[in-house]
Amino acid sequence: MNNFLEKCAEKGFLVSILISVFLSLGILSFLVFFSLPLIRGGHFLRMMKSGWDPYGGNFGVLPMMVGTGVIASLALFIAAPIGLGCSALISVLAKGNVGGFIRKAVEFMTGIPTVVYGFVAIFLLVPLIREIFNKGTGMCVLSASIVLAVLILPTIVMFLTDAFNSVPGHYLDASAALGATPVQQLIFIIIPFSWRGIVSGLVLSAGRAVGDTLISLMIAGNALQIPRELSDASRTLTAHIALIIAGDCESPEFKSIFLCGLILFVFTACMVLILRLLGSFGIPEDR
């Protein structure tokens, strides 16, 4: 009987694994299939190089690729140190109830819908940024990155605190016996040991930053230029798809968004691969 249940569970899990694997492969082949005409027609390179000018017959997505890259990496750049600090405070350094309180606050943040962040930012952050730079609309790369950083912060903090908490207690005891202060423990024991957890947190939040549509649609300004300064408006691939998908589905603009989807897919895959490679340098957890 037990054996039978085991078998069932095994089969069940196998099926769900197959479904999720085939789903991602299916999406990839769907995107490739629909972008094939564009790739075959030799438009691919031109699309990668040129700008977006539907009336001039140019459907290049280079500005959006740059926009996505810049906004997502800037968001990660802002959120990662803050997240590290928060989690260090929560799981190691804070005394009394402070850590628990911060953790509760961060958990609460995960429940706030993106549109609320976007809405608040339009009225509070955007005018501030506009006045600080004294030019542009305030809807720019920097504003979008800051809001995205707030958005991905909970993911990073959750992963980091979990990773920090899973460091074996006897290592901490041993280091404490040698006279290590909590800060020294954090830097020399906890962070190296939770490297993989840190990397998974960064991978997931990077994926979220690249994939988020609403924040960049509302805050980044959606301009069709390659951003050259932090105060320049920019458009991400996701926002581009959202803006074009409403249009005429027979138009070449519409066809080009399949390629955007493909680029986005490859983009995220590469990011995950790179960060996973970084992760393999850490100390294995099972020692």
Partner 1 sequence: MRFKVILFLMAVLILLSGAGSFVLAGNLDRFAGAKGTLRIAGGTAHIPVMKEAAKRIMNINPNIRISIAGGGSGVGIKQAGEGLVNIGNSGRKATKDEIARYKLVVFKFAIDGIAVVVNPENPVKSLTKDQLENAFSGKLSRWYVLGWEDRGINVYTRDASSGTREVFWKKGLNKGEIAPKANFVKSHGAMKTSVSVDPFGIGYISIGYLDDTVASVSIDGISPTLKNVREENYEIARGLYMNTRGEPAGLAKLFIDYILSREGQEIVKEKGFIAIN
Binding site for partner 1 (CB under 8 A): 51, 54, 63, 122-123, 126-127, 130, 134-139, 217, 221-225, 232-233, 235, 242-244, 246-250, 253
- How far is the C-alpha of 56 from the C-alpha of 34, rounded, in Å? 23
Residue 191 Cβ vs partner 1, minimum distance, rounded to whole Å: 41
Quick check: 183 and 244 in contact, CB under 8 A?
no
Nearest 5 degrees, angle CA 82-CA 87-CA 89?
95
Residue 214 Cβ vs partner 1, minimum distance, rounded to whole Å: 10
C-beta neighbour count of 270 within 10 angstroms: 10
* Radius of gyration of the chain, Cα coordinates, nearest whole angstrom: 23
Distance of CA 222 to the CA centre of its chain: 19
Residue 55 Cβ vs partner 1, minimum distance, rounded to whole Å: 8
Residue 276 Cβ vs partner 1, minimum distance, rounded to whole Å: 35
Q: Which is nearer to partner 1, 59 or 164 (CB)?
A: 59
Q: Which is nearer to partner 1, 85 or 247 (CB)?
A: 247
Q: Which is nearer to partner 1, 103 or 240 (CB)?
A: 240
Q: Which is nearer to partner 1, 126 or 189 (CB)?
A: 126
Quick check: 81 and 148 in contact, CB under 8 A?
no
- How far is the C-alpha of 268 from the C-alpha of 14, rounded, in Å? 25
Q: Which is nearer to partner 1, 228 or 276 (CB)?
A: 228
Residue 212 Cβ vs partner 1, minimum distance, rounded to whole Å: 16
